[in-house]
Amino acid sequence: MSDTQTLTIILFIFGACIGSFLNVCIFRIPQKKSIAFPGSFCPICKENIPFYCNIPVLSYLFLHGRCKHCKNPISIRYPLVETLTGIFPVFLFLKFGLTPPLFFWFGFICVLIVISLIDFDHQIIPDIISLPGIVIFSSSAVFIPEMSFSSVLMGIFTGGGILYAIALLYFKLRKTEGMGGGDIKLLAMIGAATGIEGVMFTIFTASLLGTFAGICIILATKENHHQLKIPFGPYLSAGAILYIFFGENLIQWYLRALAGY
């Protein structure tokens, strides 16, 4: 086995272990519970989960997706989050190598995963994540070569400002809130990490993804679209992640297409 293959396996295991912790954050943060204490426990029977039943992905398979104590089903989301979080550092390694951007973007993506699933479940984006995230990911000026402190500041104010303007306009026209403050702070955090270019790409991509998802949900459920509430956080997060991996290439392709046209 080559050194590269060994490193990718190590990165996957590392990411999957982080994914196990992200599951704790996703479950406990909306309930305002400590993410450190107590240890892992079954949310149904409340019994503590021993370490040998808490191995990322593998424990779910060995236990056939059921709690060791009460035999109630364990949500498939837990191993999926662990697997996804294990895959991302591998993809980042293939794109950036074992460099500071790998660790910066992995931390950023982990936060986006937590935010997305909390928003999906509860339609909230906790300030306890997004506000510190704006400060923490302003360090992109240190870890990402193409970012500068001016890019960070412009990204924060552009990201937060655009969604704030949209939300304010929607409120004035419809007299009801169409976009929560959590989305505004999330895009400001994304701007801190990616700059103006990343903000614009994220908004465009998130709008496309959100529109497509909304149409699919309406067609599948026959739900009244006036009453349909779709959390925007997961789509902003998806747009930001797509920017990390494909943003530059897609933007250059689009500009070439425009020039050719």
Taking CA atoms, 163 is separated from 103, 168, 251, in Å, by 28, 8, 21
Residue 78 shares a structural domain with residue 193: no
Q: Are residues 147 and 213 in the same domain?
A: yes
Is 20 among the domain residues?
yes
Closest CA to 152 of 104, 120, 223, 119: 104
Looking at the structure of the chain, the number of domains it has is 2
- DSSP for 55-97? -TTHHHHHTTTB-TTT-PBPPTHHHHHHHHHHHHHHHHHHHH-
Contacts of 104 (CB under 8 A, 6+ apart): 137, 139, 140, 143, 144, 193
| Domain-embedded: residue 111 | no
Per-position DSSP letters for 90-122, written without gaps between them: HHHHHHH-SSHHHHHHHHHHHHHHHHHHHHHHH
Straight-line distance from the first to the last Cα atom of the chain, in angstroms, rounded to the nearest whole number: 48
Half-sphere exposure at residue 146, Cβ-oriented, CA atoms within 13 angstroms: 8
What is the average pLDDT value for the chain, to the nearest integer? 90
204 and 85 in a single domain? The answer is no
Q: What are phi and psi of 39, to 5 degrees?
A: -70, -175
| Beta carbons of 187 and 199 less than 8 angstroms apart | yes
pLDDT digits (tens, 9 = 90+) for 26-82: 999 999 999 988 888 888 888 898 888 889 999 999 999 999 889 999 999 999 999
pLDDT at 227: 59
- In a domain, residue 110? The reply is no
Confidence of residue 178 (pLDDT cuts 50, 70, 90): low
Residues 67 and 194 in one domain: no
Do 130 and 252 lie in one domain? The reply is yes
Q: 127 and 202: one domain?
A: yes
The pLDDT-based confidence of 23 (bands split at 50, 70, 90) is very high
Same domain, 255 and 130: yes
Q: Do 67 and 153 lie in a common domain?
A: no
- The DSSP H or E segment spanning 26 is helix 3-28
* Structure tokens that stand for 110 in this block: 């982990």
Confidence of residue 179 (pLDDT cuts 50, 70, 90): low
pLDDT at position 236 is 96
Q: 108 in a domain, yes or no?
A: no
Assess if residue 114 is contained within a domain: no
Of 162, 154, 233, 249, residue with least CA distance to 194 = 154
**pLDDT for res 16:** 97
Structure tokens at 111: 């936060």
Dist. CA 198–CA 137, nearest whole Å: 13
Domain interval for residue 4: 1-98
Maximal CA-CA distance, the chain? 64
Lowest mean pLDDT among 29-43, 59-73, 104-118, 167-181: 167-181
Say how far apart CA 95 and CA 99 lie, in whole Å: 10
**216 — pLDDT class (breaks 50, 70, 90):** confident
HSE (side-chain half, CA atoms, 13 Å) at 84: 17
| Domain assignment present for 113 | no
In which band, very low, low, confident or very high, does the pLDDT at 177 lie, cut at 50, 70 and 90?
Answer: low
pLDDT at 225 over 80: no
pTM value is 0.92
Structure-block tokens of residue 13 = 């295991």
Are residues 60 and 138 located together in one domain of the fold? no
What per-residue confidence (pLDDT) applies to 240? 97
> Is 91 a domain residue?
yes
* Neighbour-count burial of 243, counting CB atoms closer than 10 A to its CB (0-12 exposed, 13-18 middle, 19+ buried): buried
**Does one domain contain both 71 and 177?**
no
The more confidently predicted of residues 109 and 54 is 109
Does residue 109 fall inside a structural domain?
no
- Does 10 have pLDDT greater than 90? yes
Please report which residue ranges of 137-247 form alpha helices under DSSP H. Answer: 140-143, 149-174, 181-221, 233-242
Q: What is the pLDDT of residue 204?
A: 94
